[in-house]
Amino acid sequence: MNRPEMKPKSMFRLNRNRLVLCVGLSAAALCSNANADGGPVPDLPIVPASTVTQDVPPPKQPTPRAEGAQRTATASRASANNALAGLNVSSDSAIMVEPGVTQIAAISRGHLNRLVTPFPTPEVMTSSLSTGSGDACGEICIKDNVVYVTTDSKKPVTLSLNEAGRQDAAIMMTLVPKDVPPRELQLELKNGSMGGLQFGSKKAESWEESQPYVDTLTHLFRQIALNEVPQGYTLHQAESGVLPVCRQPGLTFDFRHGQRMLGHHFDVAIGVAKNTSNGPVEVRETACGSQQVAAVASWPKNVLHPGDKTEVYVAVSRSMGGGKPTTQRPSLVR
Check which CATH number belongs to the domain holding 180 and give it: 2.60.40.1550
Least confident of 29-43, 117-131, 165-179, 234-248: 29-43
Do 179 and 241 belong together in one domain? no
Q: How far apart are CA 323 and CA 198, in angstroms?
A: 5
Residue 234 one-letter amino acid: T
Percent with pLDDT over 90 in the chain = 37
194 within some domain: no
Three-state SS at 77: helix
What pLDDT does 233 receive?
A: 87
As a whole number, mean pLDDT of residues 99-121 equals: 89
Could you tell me if residue 18 is inside a domain? yes
What would the mean pLDDT of 279-301 be, rounded to a whole number? Answer: 93
pLDDT of residue 96: 86
* 225, part of any domain: yes
Give domain status of residue 84, yes or no: no
Strand partners, 54: none
Please name the amino acid found at residue 291.
Q
Residue with the bigger pLDDT between 25 and 314: it is 314
Q: What is the β-pairing status of strands 102-108 and 170-178?
A: parallel
Tell me, yes or no, whether 208 and 255 share the same domain.
Answer: yes
Whether 124 and 41 map to the same domain: the answer is: no
If asked whether residues 171 and 219 sit together in one domain, one would say: no
Helix, strand, coil percent content, the chain, rounded in steps of 5:
20, 35, 50
Average pLDDT over residues 147-153: 92
Question: 228-278: per-residue pLDDT in tens?
Answer: 989 888 888 887 777 899 999 999 999 999 998 888 899 999 999 999 999
Q: Please indicate, yes or no, whether residues 112 and 152 belong to a single structural domain of this protein.
A: yes
What pLDDT does 316 receive?
Answer: 93
- At position 247, the amino acid (one-letter code) is R
Rounded average pLDDT over 153-171: 85
Final residue belonging to a domain, choices 166, 189, 212 = 189
| Cβ-based neighbours of 300, under 8 Å, separated by 6 or more | 225, 310, 311
Instruction: Please state, in angstroms and rounded to a whole number, the distance separating the CA atoms of residues 308 and 73.
Output: 65
In tens, the pLDDT along 1-26 reads: 555 555 444 444 444 444 444 444 44
Q: Which of 78-92, 193-207, 231-245, 286-300 has the lowest mean pLDDT?
A: 78-92
Rounded to whole angstroms, the Cα distance separating 269 from 257 reads 11
Q: What's the CA gap between 27 and 45, in Å, rounded?
A: 8
Is residue 330 in a domain?
Answer: no
Backbone angles phi, psi at 72, to 5 degrees: -65, -45
231, 303: one domain: yes
Q: Select the highest-mean-pLDDT range: 14-28, 182-196, 202-216, 312-326.
A: 202-216
114-140 pLDDT, tens per residue? 999 888 888 998 888 877 655 667 889
Q: Look at residue 329 and tell me if it is in a domain.
A: no
Q: How much is the pLDDT for 253?
A: 97
- pLDDT, averaged across the chain: 77
**Considering the domain boundaries, does residue 74 fall inside one?**
no
pLDDT for 67 equals 57
Indicate whether 208 and 276 sit together in one domain. yes
* Band of pLDDT at residue 46, cut at 50, 70 and 90: low
Taking the alpha carbons at both ends of the chain, their separation in whole angstroms is 133
Question: Same domain for 14 and 121?
Answer: no
3-state class (DSSP) for residue 87: coil
- Asked if 256 and 302 sit in the same domain, the reply is yes
Same domain, 141 and 108: yes
Q: What percent of the chain has pLDDT over 70?
A: 66
Determine the pLDDT at residue 218: 95
**What integer pLDDT is reported at residue 23 of this predicted model?**
45
Other CB atoms within a 10 A radius of the CB of residue 240 amount to 11
Burial string for 191-230 (b: 16+ CB within 10 Å, else e) reads bebbebbbbbbebbbebbeeeeeeebbeebbeebeeeeeb
For the chain, what is the domain count? 3
Chain-centre distance for alpha carbon 100: 21
Q: What is the mean pLDDT of residues 178-189?
A: 90
143 and 40 share a domain? no
Domain boundary among 189, 219, 251: 189
CB distance 199 to 169 below 8 Å: no
The residue range of the domain holding 41 is: 10-53
331 found inside a domain = no
pLDDT for the residue 3: 53
Distance CA 106, CA 125 (A): 19
